[in-house]
């Protein structure tokens, strides 16, 4: 499915279930998300992470709410399942979408200025680099006889400095490869937005509305 449309669908559904309290719809969404992730061959390890982390937080939240005593059982179930829906929908989106395709789609389909689209992509590509950089900084500090802990402000000072330097380099790199803010570009890869995508989006939304309407007390 087209990445932009997929993102919009996920966001709309997430917004809707935030303001309604129908746990059956949540459960149906969960099952659908789960099936989708299995169908797209998301790794079992990742799936376990996506299940265990929200399980911990949802349980903690429900437990503390039930201790307070004022929340009804229905509300607790809604809260519990809602958290899972957020994580699973996020999971479906991130595990089935390539950042580069999303960037291209945002640029071509959503007409987002290319500056933002590529800014997003650059930030994404930077994540693994930051992790290596932190390890390198700590090692460099040790070699100079200084221990940098996770809470040392100097570590973050250095990381920010490095990131600022990267952003300058990135700007130079983009400019030297001919990128000009706001200038029109061609697209080597077209991101398709076929009609069935719109239908799939509309039908899913309609189904959620119907479920919410029927499920409301």
Partner 1 sequence: MATVTIDSLTFTYPKRTHPVLDDLAVTFPAGKFSLLTGVSGGGKSTLLNLIAGLTPLPAPGAIRFDGHPLAEIPATKRANTVAMMFQEPSTQFTMDTVENELRFALENQRVAATDIPAAIDEALNFVGIAQLKHRILMQLSGGEQQKVALAIIVAMNSDVILLDEPFASIDPPTRLTLLQKLMTLCTQQHKTVILADHDLSGYAHWVDHLAVLDAGHLTLLSTEETQERFAAFTPDRLQLTRVTPPQDTETVCLQGTQLGLFSGERELIHPQDLAFFAGQATLITGPNGSGKSTLFRALVRLSHYQGTLTYQGQDIQKISRKSYARQVGLMFQSAMAQFLNVTLDEELTLSQKNGNRAYFTPERVTQLLDQLGLTQHRNQVIYSLSSGQQKKAQLLCMLIMAPQVLLLDEPLKGLDLASIQTTMHILTSVQRDLGLTLILISHQLSGLDGLVTHHLRLMDHRLLYEGVTE
Distance CA 182, CA 176 (A): 16
Burial class (CB in 10 A: 0-12, 13-18, 19+), 177: exposed
Q: Which is nearer to partner 1, 82 or 158 (CB)?
A: 158
Is 100 one of the binding residues for partner 1 (CB under 8 A)? yes
Is 163 one of the binding residues for partner 1 (CB under 8 A)? no
Of 49-57, 80-88, 117-125, 207-215, which part binds partner 1 (CB under 8 A)? 117-125
Is 186 one of the binding residues for partner 1 (CB under 8 A)? yes
CB of 137 to partner 1, least distance (A): 8
Is 136 one of the binding residues for partner 1 (CB under 8 A)? yes
The encoded tokens of residue 92 equal 């479906």
User: 39, 73, 127, 147: which one contacts partner 1 (CB under 8 A)?
Assistant: 147
User: 187, 195, 196, 217: which one contacts partner 1 (CB under 8 A)?
Assistant: 187
Q: Encode burial over 74-101: b for 16+ CB neighbours within 10 A, e otherwise.
A: eebbbbbbbbbbbbbbebbbebbbeeee
Distance CA 21, CA 1 (A): 28
Distance CA 30, CA 26 (A): 6
CB of 106 within 8 A of CB of 2?
Answer: no
Of 23-31, 71-79, 84-92, 119-127, which part binds partner 1 (CB under 8 A)? 119-127
Distance CA 84, CA 116 (A): 30
The encoded tokens of residue 55 equal 């399980």
Distance CA 127, CA 150 (A): 17
Q: How many residues of this chain interact with partner 1, rule: CB under 8 A?
A: 43
User: 44, 73, 127, 135: which one contacts partner 1 (CB under 8 A)?
Assistant: 135
Is 162 one of the binding residues for partner 1 (CB under 8 A)? yes
Beta strand extents in 77-161 (DSSP E only): none
Burial class (CB in 10 A: 0-12, 13-18, 19+), 217: exposed
Of 15-23, 53-61, 75-83, 121-129, which part binds partner 1 (CB under 8 A)? 121-129
Is 122 one of the binding residues for partner 1 (CB under 8 A)? yes
CB of 212 to partner 1, least distance (A): 40
- Residues near partner 1 (CB under 8 A): 100, 118, 121-122, 125, 129, 135-137, 139-147, 154, 158, 161-162, 165-166, 169-170, 172-180, 183-190
């Amino acid at each position: 499915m087209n990445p932009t449309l997929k993102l919009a669908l996920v966001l709309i559904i997430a917004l809707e279930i935030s303001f309604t309290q129908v746990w059956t719809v949540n459960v149906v969404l969960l099952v659908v998300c789960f099936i989708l992730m299995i169908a797209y061959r998301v790794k079992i390890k990742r799936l376990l992470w996506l299940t265990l982390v929200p399980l911990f937080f949802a349980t903690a939240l429900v437990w503390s709410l039930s201790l307070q005593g004022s929340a009804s059982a229905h509300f607790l179930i809604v809260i519990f399942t809602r958290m899972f829906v957020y994580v699973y929908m996020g999971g479906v989106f991130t595990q089935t979408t390539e950042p580069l395709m999303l960037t291209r789609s945002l640029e071509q389909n959503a007409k987002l200025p290319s500056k933002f689209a590529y800014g997003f992509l650059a930030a994404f590509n930077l994540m693994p680099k930051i992790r290596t950089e932190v390890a390198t900084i700590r090692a460099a500090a040790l070699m100079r006889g200084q221990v940098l802990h996770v809470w040392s402000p100097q570590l973050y000072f250095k990381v920010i400095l490095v990131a600022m330097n990267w952003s300058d380099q990135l700007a130079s790199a983009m400019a030297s490869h001919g990128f000009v803010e706001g200038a029109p570009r061609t697209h080597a890869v077209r991101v398709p937005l076929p009609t069935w995508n719109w239908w799939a989006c509309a039908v899913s939304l309609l189904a959620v509305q119907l479920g919410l309407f029927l499920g409301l007390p």
